[in-house]
Amino acid sequence: MNSPASFGSDNQAPAHPSVLEALARANSGHTPSYGADPWTERAQELFRQHFGPHTRAFPLFNGTGANVLGLSSILRPHEAVLCARDAHVDVDEGGAPERFGGFKLVALPTQHGKIAPGSIEASLGYVGDPHRVQPRAVTISNATELGTVYGPGEIESLAETAHAHGLLLHMDGARICNAAVSLGLSFAEITTRVGVDVLSFGGTKNGLMGAEAVVFLREGLGEEFLFLRKQGMQLASKQRFLSAQLVALLEGELWRENAAHANSMAQRLAAAVARAPGLEIAEPVQANAVFARLPKATIGELQQRWPFLVWDEQANLVRWMCAWNTRAEDVDAFAADVHAVAGKFAR
């Protein structure tokens, strides 16, 4: 079944053929269940190579599970998480943090989807007040929900501010491959080496069929995560199939190639539509998403032909997302349609 090209989400892309081949290779014979298999051991080794020797990675099914369990593993019942106001964990996880994690999220103001150290400090005025929830962690998404990327200096200053106040830094890395490639840096250079404590590592948006991991980057963290993952319903009995996907992504260059392609298609799209009448590129294009503002009528007509997300109805803000399999000719055809439709309504 062949469906038309989509700019709806990197989740709408298929799994990369080499991931399917890795799954087929893993699909042979009996192997110990619940993570005691050789694929999980190899994935663990690869996470240590990419992130540093103290790394402990726990494969699981999805990003919401990774965020909710990763964060709740570092919080006590009266503690909270500071996040960006656009954070997926706050606005797009269906109340899972509140219901299953049992923690409160405190949304901070953003610029281009990013928070700044000053807004962390500004939200600490009530520390020690028993009537107030006590912040214990800061979470940032890299790449952000708005397709921008925190550089290592920005992450380091957020980590320094968080640590100075006894808070830990969590990164939602649903698109960490896109962020690392955009910066031309290794995973460790944007996480472990700049003070990130816990990471939700994302693979699904970058060519996997469905596998993510909670990754603890410091000694002393995640000691009880084995139990929490099971209790949190994210322990796969046939874990070899999650781990085999992560191995396929991290063993060679697949993580980099897939993300580099998706990012370059977003650049191509942004450049191609930038001069369409009435269109404004709304956010810096630094990963695999293009955010644009354009007249409502243009959005409506384009949506009849191309799947994409209206991010903010009131603001006429749309998101066009590229993926590892986005074809240059589809980008060009879409951009030509954007020009044609925008031109029609501009007349």
Residues that bind ligand PLP (CB under 6 A): 62-64, 88, 141, 145, 172, 174, 204
Of 88 and 136, the one with the shorter C-beta distance to ligand PLP is: 88
Of 91 and 272, the one with the shorter C-beta distance to ligand PLP is: 91
In the complex, least distance from residue 281 CB atom to ligand PLP, rounded to whole angstroms: 20
Of 120 and 174, the one with the shorter C-beta distance to ligand PLP is: 174
DSSP assignment of 177-195: HHHHHHHT--TGGGTGGGT
In the complex, least distance from residue 202 CB atom to ligand PLP, rounded to whole angstroms: 7
Of 88 and 268, the one with the shorter C-beta distance to ligand PLP is: 88
C-alpha atoms less than 13 angstroms from C-alpha of 341 in its C-beta half-sphere: 21
Of 321 and 335, the one with the shorter C-beta distance to ligand PLP is: 321
The 10 Å Cβ neighbour count of residue 184 is 8
In the complex, least distance from residue 172 CB atom to ligand PLP, rounded to whole angstroms: 5
Of 234 and 298, the one with the shorter C-beta distance to ligand PLP is: 234
In the complex, least distance from residue 95 CB atom to ligand PLP, rounded to whole angstroms: 13
Of 64 and 245, the one with the shorter C-beta distance to ligand PLP is: 64
Q: Which residues pair with 92 in a beta bridge?
A: none
In the complex, least distance from residue 204 CB atom to ligand PLP, rounded to whole angstroms: 6
Collapsed DSSP state (helix, strand, coil) of residue 129: coil
| Distance, CA of 105 to CA of 71 (rounded, Å) | 11
| Distance, CA of 208 to CA of 130 (rounded, Å) | 44
Of 74 and 321, the one with the shorter C-beta distance to ligand PLP is: 321
Collapsed DSSP state (helix, strand, coil) of residue 273: helix
Q: According to DSSP H, which parts of the chain are helical?
A: 17-26, 38-51, 63-72, 88-91, 96, 117-122, 152-164, 176-183, 225-231, 240-250, 254-273, 296-305, 328-346
In the complex, least distance from residue 71 CB atom to ligand PLP, rounded to whole angstroms: 12
DSSP assignment of 53-112: TT-EEEEES-HHHHHHHHHHTT--TTEEEEEETT-HHHHSSTTHIIIII--EEEEE--BT
For 10, 138, 212, 292, the CA distances from 203, given in Å and listed in that order, are: 11, 22, 5, 26
Q: Which residue is nearest to ligand PLP (CB)?
A: 63
Of 31 and 62, the one with the shorter C-beta distance to ligand PLP is: 62
Q: What are phi and psi of 79, to 5 degrees?
A: -105, 160
In the complex, least distance from residue 185 CB atom to ligand PLP, rounded to whole angstroms: 19
Collapsed DSSP state (helix, strand, coil) of residue 134: strand
In the complex, least distance from residue 329 CB atom to ligand PLP, rounded to whole angstroms: 26
| Distance, CA of 340 to CA of 347 (rounded, Å) | 11
In eight-state DSSP terms, residue 282 is -
Whether 212 and 204 have beta carbons less than 8 Å apart is answered as yes
In the complex, least distance from residue 32 CB atom to ligand PLP, rounded to whole angstroms: 26
